[in-house]
Amino acid sequence: MSHARILREGLWGNNVVFSQMLALCPTMAVTTSGTNALAMGLATTAVLVVSNMLVSLIRDVVSTQVRIPVFVVLIATLVTIVDLALNAWAHELYKVLGLFIALIVVNCAILGRAEAFASKNGVAASAVDGLATGLGFTLALTVIGLIREVFGAGTLFAQASLLLGPSFAFLEMRVPAYEGALLMILPPGGFAVLGLLLAAKRVFEGRRRADAVASVPAAAS
């Protein structure tokens, strides 16, 4: 599988949330804000890339009987490093995401990619797979988070300066004369947004397949 195809699969075709329906617990937990969702996605991406590379490096050394515990220890170590780094250099953001960062350890997408891909492929391909999977996860979280934030709180990228720095404060916006709908920042609102996005993705893919089928006779003639 080429690196370009790995990227396409991770970002769209085999997206963790929109295709595999994995990691829904952190998806529902952190998507009440676009900023929180983006931060969680980037942290998960960093863990995915490094964990995939490490698993690929040791795949011929670790026996199959103990590979899962070893993978979990590696992932837990990386998550601890990310947790400490956020606490040290982005403490205000850490106070919001601290609990959820620790839960990256049990994110089934990370262990799933380590077992399904990194343990069977080289370091470069595993790094690309981790990056693609992480960015696809980040994309899903951010889109859901922005929709829930706009309709639930009437804001957009609230507290973005905590994540990206003071120069990105211009991203922080508020919808005039709108206080938001509480339902959208509660779990039912998250599942409703996810369901609508899944439906939109299926409609889009169905139309693409129909267009591709319709173009075949035209090309043949």
Provide the pLDDT for residue 219: 54
Alpha-carbon dihedral of residues 117, 120, 123, 124, nearest 10 degrees? -60
Q: What is the pTM of this model?
A: 0.92
Other Cβ atoms closer than 10 A to 124: 11
The reported pLDDT for the residue numbered 218 is: 54
Express each pLDDT in 175-210 by its tens digit: 998 988 999 999 899 999 999 999 999 999 999 999
Residues in the chain predicted with pLDDT less than 50, given as ranges, are none
pLDDT of residue 168: 81
Give the per-residue pLDDT at 15.
Answer: 95
Cα–Cα dist 182/150, whole Å: 11
pLDDT of 196 reads 96
Domain residue ranges in the chain: 3-210
pLDDT at residue 95, rounded to an integer: 83
Q: Return the pLDDT at 156.
A: 92
Give the H or E element holding residue 16: none
Q: What is the structure's pLDDT at 105?
A: 83
